Amino acid sequence: MCTMDLDCKRYNPTDNSKEVDEKSIFFAIKGVSKDGHDFIEEAIEKSAPYVIAERPYKDFKNIILVEDSKKAFGECLKTHFDAPDEHLKVIGVTGTNGKTSTTHIIHAILSTKYKGAIFGTMYYKLDDELIEAPNTTPGVKTWFSLLSKAQKKGLDFVAAEVSSHALDQLRVYPTKFFATVFTNLTQDHLDYHKTMEDYFNAKRRLFKDYEYEVCVLNIDDDYGSMLYEEFKDKAITYGYSENAHLKIDYFDQEKGVLSFYYKDKHYQLRTNLKGDFQAYNMGAAIALGLYMGFDIEDIQKGILSLSSIPGRFETIELNGVKVVIDYAHTPDALEKLLKTARAITKNRLICVFGAGGNRDKTKRPKMGKIASELSDISIVTSDNPRFEKPMDIIKDILKGVDASKSPMIEEDRKKAIALAIDIALEGDVVVIAGKGHEDYQEIEGVKHHFSDKEEVLKYKINT
């Protein structure tokens, strides 16, 4: 017997034994911390008519053995929800940095003609409905459920961030994409993937293992070039490289102008977005829009509809001081952020930052080195410590700081932000990095309400 013999529309597919009843198909899936095969007994006790597993279980007759129960689960869910991906233009964006901005710019451009959704780090937004996002990319059941909801709402497209964890765990399998987009690859998540090669191979799955019409690749990125060599038959590229299909000429932040060439034509578009890195994010979105046949006027309209993207170089003016709030939490992102901030700094550059707990520890000293070298004053604080002690994380960060540098240390993030603003002089730029749009701080498994932006705005009101 195989999964094709099952009526996946009639039964409720689940990988959670707590949800099982007589109308459920239980999929025993080996996860990161738990193995679903250990819960087969519970599923049987709850009257599951069928169990899908990778190995036999006692003498239970209605067990269907498959080579990969994760794949079988995804296939059954797609059938259960009537293959909503086949009726939507699903655009999957992957990469270390820029996924959120790129999906928002794509959404803005496509929304000049169509109605769509965004799935990502900040939220799952289906037209005017906002749903809290526990993960950048949801679990596969939620994924197909959301796609189904988008279809039933009459939406035309979905712009989705697809994380390396999601690709490794088959959370979007077996989605039919319209387009896949690659932004860049730099060090992150090595606590999970262990090596950059494994990290890249997880991202590569989006282009190797899934059906799509076109892929949009950052040709300036070494890993993007590797993807282009492998998938050039379906690829369009963007970047500053002379070989890019969409060649970025320059991005003037002060004037708000992006200049680029596409198919031997020169274009200049106006934008409100700030940050050198936004040239790449806009380049990816524009390349996709042009491929889809959008007029340059519609693309311009879409880009201008974005005044900013929450937590992405979000700037607040504060008594002659610019405060920049950004999600940068990797060495590469922090370096790009500080270099961009330096370009608008008339006096001193002050950086408040930390590093997440229970995540890749090797990036901590690198971030310390970058912050101390590229800012005039750095204040090391807590980020999301999770189950680590904040001071242990801070000590790891300080290992990368040159002995001649003397960063300030303030474990309390609220006090660190206040300290940065207190010492700031007219013409200074204060960068608060690491959390961006997040409105919580995760400590010992509990998410406590905390927003960098709210703290800055409170300070503004109080002064």
Residue 114 within a domain: yes
Average pLDDT, the chain: 95
Question: Would the pLDDT of 4 be above 80?
Answer: no
**pLDDT confidence tier of residue 463, bands split at 50, 70 and 90:** low
Do 76 and 51 fall into the same domain?
A: yes
- pLDDT value, residue 462: 58
Residue 321 within a domain: yes
Residue 217 within a domain: yes
Burial class (CB in 10 A: 0-12, 13-18, 19+), 196: middle
Residue 446 within a domain: yes
Do 436 and 373 fall into the same domain?
A: yes
Rg (CA), the chain: 23
Strand duo 265-270 + 257-262: pairing: antiparallel
Q: Of the candidates 323, 444, 425, which has an alpha carbon nearest to the alpha carbon of residue 382?
A: 444
Do 229 and 90 fall into the same domain?
A: yes
Do 234 and 362 fall into the same domain?
A: no
Do 410 and 346 fall into the same domain?
A: yes
pTM of the model: 0.90
**pLDDT confidence tier of residue 1, bands split at 50, 70 and 90:** very low
Q: How far apart are the C-alpha atoms of 309 and 376, rounded to whole Å?
A: 26
Residue 67 within a domain: yes
DSSP string covering 21-68: -TTEEEE--B-SS-BGGGGHHHHHHTT-SEEEESS--TT-SSEEE-S-
Residue 215 within a domain: yes
Number of domains within the chain = 3
Do 65 and 200 fall into the same domain?
A: no
- Residue that terminates a domain, selected from 80, 102, 132: 80
Q: How far apart are the C-alpha atoms of 19 and 39, rounded to whole Å?
A: 12
Q: Which residue has the tokens 């697809």?
A: 162
Residue 309 within a domain: no
- Residue that terminates a domain, selected from 80, 114, 148: 80
Domain that holds residue 9: 3-80
- pLDDT value, residue 401: 92
- pLDDT value, residue 192: 84
Do 209 and 166 fall into the same domain?
A: yes
Instruction: Read off the pLDDT of each residue in 168-175 and give the average, rounded to a whole number.
Output: 97
Do 260 and 319 fall into the same domain?
A: no
Q: Which two tokens stand for residue 358?
A: 């229970």
Q: Which residue has the tokens 């997040």?
A: 438
Please write the tens of the pLDDT for every residue from 435-457. Answer: 999 999 999 999 999 999 999 99
**pLDDT confidence tier of residue 461, bands split at 50, 70 and 90:** low
Q: What is the CATH number of the domain that holds 67?
A: 3.40.1390.10
Instruction: Read off the pLDDT of each residue in 103-129 and give the average, rounded to a whole number.
Output: 97
Question: Would the pLDDT of 191 be above 50?
Answer: yes
CB within 8 Å of 353: residues ≥ 6 apart: 334, 367, 371, 378, 379, 380, 381, 383, 431, 432, 433, 434
Instruction: Read off the pLDDT of each residue in 35-44 and give the average, rounded to a whole number.
Output: 96
Do 396 and 357 fall into the same domain?
A: yes
How far apart, in Å, are the Cα atoms of 347 and each of 271, 373, 405? 26, 16, 19
Please write the tens of the pLDDT for every residue from 399-426. Answer: 999 878 889 999 999 999 999 999 999 9
- pLDDT value, residue 194: 86
Please write the tens of the pLDDT for every residue from 355-399. Answer: 999 999 999 999 999 999 999 999 999 999 999 999 999 999 999
Please write the tens of the pLDDT for every residue from 206-257. Answer: 999 999 999 999 999 999 999 999 999 999 999 999 999 999 999 998 899 9
- Residue that terminates a domain, selected from 304, 328, 360: 304
- pLDDT value, residue 406: 87
Residue 74 within a domain: yes
Please write the tens of the pLDDT for every residue from 266-320. Answer: 999 999 999 889 999 999 999 999 999 999 999 999 999 999 998 999 999 998 9
Question: Would the pLDDT of 130 be above 70?
Answer: yes
- How much of the chain exceeds pLDDT 70, in percent? 98
Do 318 and 414 fall into the same domain?
A: yes
Question: Would the pLDDT of 3 be above 70?
Answer: no
Question: Would the pLDDT of 65 be above 50?
Answer: yes
Do 339 and 433 fall into the same domain?
A: yes
Do 240 and 126 fall into the same domain?
A: yes
